[in-house]
């Protein structure tokens, strides 16, 4: 595995990343909510890139994995700015953004910031706007009031927190209600047995994107993680077929 390195932001906070040199647009993997670069899809992407001589970068958002910071302070805006700072410092040339779940929301924000540097995007159960459709009215009232909302976590023993700061910032970055000014090739992969992010979200995103080069792949028995061997194979085939 490529060694962990650190990018220091203004103010001294360090962002952990792994960077593999290679050809083509640098594949940048953006993990999901409370996830990190040691997840199965991220590491499989890095291994595939190494085998095929492709450039690849994995990272941990602040407050996650090996990066500095407190998760409770994290926001989409802050994580977007960290990613852009890291890419400006470490990557020359175009990038191919790969976003898993919340990372699929972040990849839209990063793409709008980087503009022409983005050669393409691949979303895996992309979850834009989940601050809107993912919470009921009672939860939204609590979040507006500054409270933290906790939900059952099917992937671990501790409940999943949503902090008011994150939610309030996320509400300012909703995409699905209007055209999204992104023109690069986009591929969206979604499981139809996803209990967390409705698969129709990828169809809504495909419709909202300005790009005409958008394809959606639905995996009928796929769950939210899409981490089975056969699911990862779909991801890797998608990466291999992306324009370079």
| Residues identified as active-site | 101, 194, 224
Measured CA to CA, the distance from residue 118 to residue 1 in angstroms comes to 26
The closest alpha carbon to 123, from 198, 180, 44, 188, belongs to 188
The closest alpha carbon to 16, from 69, 55, 50, 66, belongs to 66
Measured CA to CA, the distance from residue 97 to residue 115 in angstroms comes to 12
Count of H helices and E strands in the chain?
A: 8, 10
Measured CA to CA, the distance from residue 124 to residue 222 in angstroms comes to 11
Asked if residue 115 lies in contact with residue 140, where contact means CB atoms within 8 angstroms, the answer is: no
Residue 40's contacts (CB-CB under 8 Å, 6 or more residues apart) are 227, 232
């Amino acid at each position: 595995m490529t060694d962990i390195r650190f990018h220091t932001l203004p103010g001294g906070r360090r962002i952990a990343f792994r960077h593999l040199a290679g050809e083509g647009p640098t594949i940048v993997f953006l993990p999901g909510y409370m996830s990190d670069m040691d997840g199965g899809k991220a590491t499989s992407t890095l291994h595939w890139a190494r085998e095929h001589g492709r450039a690849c970068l994995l990272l941990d958002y602040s407050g996650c994995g090996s990066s500095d910071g407190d998760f409770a302070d994290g926001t989409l805006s802050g994580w977007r700015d960290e990613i852009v700072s890291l890419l400006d410092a470490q990557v020359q040339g175009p990038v191919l953004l790969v976003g898993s779940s919340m990372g699929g929301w972040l990849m839209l924000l990063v793409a709008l910031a980087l503009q022409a540097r983005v050669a393409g995007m691949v979303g895996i159960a992309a979850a834009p706007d989940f601050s809107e459709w993912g919470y009921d009215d009672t939860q939204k009232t609590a979040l507006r009031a500054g409270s933290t909302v906790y939900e059952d976590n099917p992937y671990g023993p501790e409940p999943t927190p949503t902090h008011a700061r994150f939610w309030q910032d996320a509400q300012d970055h909703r995409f699905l209600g209007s055209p999204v000014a992104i023109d690069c090739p986009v591929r969206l992969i979604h499981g139809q047995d996803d209990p967390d992010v409705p698969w129709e979200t990828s169809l809504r995103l495909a419709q909202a994107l300005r790009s005409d080069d958008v394809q959606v792949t639905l995996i009928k028995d796929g769950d939210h993680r899409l981490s089975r061997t056969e699911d990862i194979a779909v991801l890797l085939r998608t990466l291999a077929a992306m324009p370079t």
